[in-house]
Structure 1
Amino acid sequence: MDSVEKFNRPAVFKIIREIKTMLQYAVASGKKLPDWILPAIAPIEVKQIHYEKSSSGSSVDFPFDTKELSQINKIYTTLAAAVSPATPMSIDYTTPSKKMFFVLGTKTIPVIRNMWMMSILFLTGFVITGFYLDNIYYVQANLLFSSGLGAYFYSLYTANKYVVNRSFDPTYITFYYNRIIIGIIAGIILSNLIVPPQTNGSLNINTSIISMLGGFSSDAVLKILNRLVSMLITLVEGDAKEIIETREAEIKTKYLEKQAKMKIETASRLLAMLNDIQSKTDDESFLRIKSVVDKILGEEAEQI
């Protein structure tokens, strides 16, 4: 018991609070619970309330023994399975707690309310700047608002299903905002990268729509950029390979030319020496040597 008092007291009471949270959600949602749950929870809750009222320090004995702790764990596990995929944390966070318009309206979830407000802001900016597309500054502002509109649309749509089944994990809030920023950047990049195609009929694809699509699907923009990078790398590698091959061919040609000239010069000297000794050798030997020299000169002349 001492070890329970010293180390597990805060954790036990946290588990009991989460049991209450899951029980309230399960009852409100019409979840089917085992018959033994409520009779088992009642004495535990009574002991907790009595402990919290009577304890003013650490001198009060811990109200639960080992058997009751096992029962608490069993209750927690059963309720967690009943409310899944929701968790105590997601249930708490998706419980409406803030006014929709800060001081007016019904209560809603803070992060969703913030996304609503920003979506309305980007939508308003998109509509207003759309009337002044003859000005380059308004055009860029319009691209910013349209990409933000697409990014917020994606985030709200993604978060919606988790809010509905009460499984929205607040630890992913940073992911949602990070995804929005990435979407805005991706939308602006895509709108400046792609020229709107010529379309017929009712389909109107302009730079604003392309920016909105980029904000909605930053993954698609990432794939496009990766593809462009691969193409550039291939192009650079191809150019480098061609340069190397051309240089090798030039070096080889110069080497062959040099070798051929050396052979011609050598053969010319031999021919000159042969003419000098023509009178000192017989005709058959002279003609044989001369034919070899002429052959060398002919082959090298063809190579050059």
Structure 2
Amino acid sequence: MSRNVTADPKFNLKVLLYRQLFNCELMFDYLIEKGKKVPDWIGSSLSSINLKTSRLKIEYEDKIKSNKLNKEKTLELQLKIADAVEPDKDTITKMLNELTTLCQPATPCSLENTIPKAKLFGGWGPMFTPFIRDIWLISIICLVGYVIFSYVNASYPDNIIYLQLLLMFSAFLGACFYTLNTAKRYVLARTFDDYYIANYYSRIIIGVIAGIILANIIKVSYFPTPGQDVGSKILFQMTPSLFALLGGFSAEAVVKILNRLVAMLMTLVEGETKDVIENQVQEFKNKMAANNIKQKMINVSELYSLLESPSIQSDDNTKVKIKEMINKFLEER
């Protein structure tokens, strides 16, 4: 059953009608689960519609259980359900609007995203939402890597590659822990939106980078160990892998640390520049002062020479004025 969806408006409307009915049932079940009051007419309308589609839904569920349902068969059954409820499309639209208002802040999309429908290991294990299952798998892989490289790094402590791999797995653990803890709140509230999945994965990558950076810029020897006498008990030992885990969990803290380091560096550079400028200004002032003193000494020497000349010796008033000028120059010095 291969059809061009965009070329057949009626086909599109049938698919839309099925989705509307599915969303109505999903939101109705959510409201009942939460113990919220639902208008009686919605319950009676859904019951009436379910009577028309019960046989098709049973067939749909049986094929799901027997793994005989491919994409085309699924679409075919959905179209049959849409045909069965075609006379009730106005009622379904009205129910959809009413239920959407009652379910806020949850939406049909978030309710569908938080339905557990993926097992942890293929066909084994409890059911999870797909995104949470994926993060669980990443966490388990990182935990195994952390254990392996903790042992390897302890056996070869001087190997920088093993150390960096240990830091990477540690940072991954911290980032996955943060992501699971954050997403859990939205999953439990049934408000998880898959629109933000890319942001969660970006946060994991940022956390890994932040964890590795933090573990490499902080020297562990600066922190006391349980064997050192620091006047109080040490609750835990600071290790590079712990810093990597903390950085992965709180990338924001690493950003603040880096910003502080940049500010310190800028202050250092600006301080050195300011000192250089001040030294240059002071040197210029010293040169100017030395030149002034030198010029005054030249002036005083010339005045003494003038004072000893025969023409001045005979003029008492001029001699007095020259001596006053000499004294003034000497006082300014």
Q: For the residues of structure 2 that align with 1:27 and 1:279, how far apart are their CA atoms?
A: 122
**Residue aligning to 1:26:** 31
For residues 133 and 80 of structure 2, the distance between their equivalents in structure 1, rounded to whole angstroms, comes to: 37
Structure 1 position 103 matched with structure 2 position 136: no
CA positional deviation for 1:10: 7.0
Instruction: List runs of 5+ in structure 2 lacking aligned partners.
Output: 1-8, 57-77, 226-232
Matches within 5 A, 1:74-85: 74-85=94-105
Q: Across the two proteins, how many residue pairs are aligned to each other? A: 285
Cα distance, 1:183 vs. partner? Answer: 0.6
CA apart distance, 1:115: 0.7
Q: Give the counterpart of 2:147 among 127, 131, 137.
A: 127
Moved more, 133-142 or 164-173: 133-142
Instruction: Give the match for residue 167 of structure 1.
Output: 191
Work out which of the residue numbers 108, 130, 135 in structure 2 matches 1:88: 108
2:173–2:245 contact (8 Å) kept in structure 1: yes
Q: 1:258, CA displacement in angstroms?
A: 1.6
**Is 1:140 matched with 2:164?**
yes
2:246 aligned to 195, 207, 213, which one? 213
Checking the alignment, whether the CA contact within 8 Å between 1:31 and 1:83 is kept in structure 2 is no
Q: 1:135-284 alignment to 2 at 5 Å? A: 135-196=159-220, 197-199=223-225, 200-278=233-311, 281-284=314-317
Tell me how far 1:264 sits from its aligned partner: 2.2
CA contact (8 A) 2:15 2:82 kept: no
My pick for the range that moved more, 108-117 or 8-17, is 8-17
* Cα separation, 1, equivalents of 2:235 and 2:330: 79
Q: Distance in 2 between matches of 1:121 and 1:92?
A: 27
Summarize deviations over 1:91-111 as a string: whole Å, max 9, x none.
111212223202323432221
SS of residue paired to 1:105: strand
Question: Identity, % of aligned pairs?
Answer: 41
Question: Are positions 1:116 and 2:136 aligned together?
Answer: yes
Q: Using a 3 Å threshold, how does the CA distance of structure 1 residues 292 and 21 change in structure 2: closer, same or farther?
A: same
TM-score (norm 2): 0.75
Structure 1 contact 278–286 (Cα < 8 Å) conserved: no
CA-based RMSD: 3.1
Matched residues in 2 for 1:9 and 1:223: separation?
52
Measured in 1, the distance between the counterparts of 2:166 and 2:145 equals 7
Question: Which whole-Å deviations, capped at 9, do the CAs of 1:157-182 have from their partners, x for residues lacking one?
Answer: 11112112221110110111111111
Indicate how the Cα distance of structure 1 residues 139 and 279 shifts in structure 2: closer, same or farther if over 3 A, else same: closer
Question: Residues 186-220 of structure 1, C-alpha deviation per residue, up to 9 Å, x if partnerless?
Answer: 11111111223104444222111111111111111
TM-score normalized with structure 1 length: 0.81
- Say if 2:327 is the partner of 1:286: no
**Which SS does the other structure have where 2:254 is aligned?**
helix
Note the 1:56-75 alignment, pairs <5 A: 69=90, 72=92, 74-75=94-95
CA contact (8 A) 2:110 2:193 kept: yes
Deviation at 1:34, TM superposition (A): 1.8
Deviations 1:229-284, CA, capped at 9 Å, x for gaps: 11211222122122111111111221222223223223322321222245653335
Aligned-partner Cα distance in 2 for 1:47–1:256 = 106
CA distance in 1, matches of 2:185, 2:196: 14
Counterpart amino acid of residue 198 in structure 1? P
Deviation for aligned residue 1:222: 0.9
Q: 1:253–1:201: structure 2 CA closer, same or farther, 3 Å change rule?
A: closer
Q: Is the 8 A contact 2:303 2:322 kept in 1?
A: no
- Partner residue in 2 for 1:59: none
Residue identity opposite 1:256 in structure 2: A
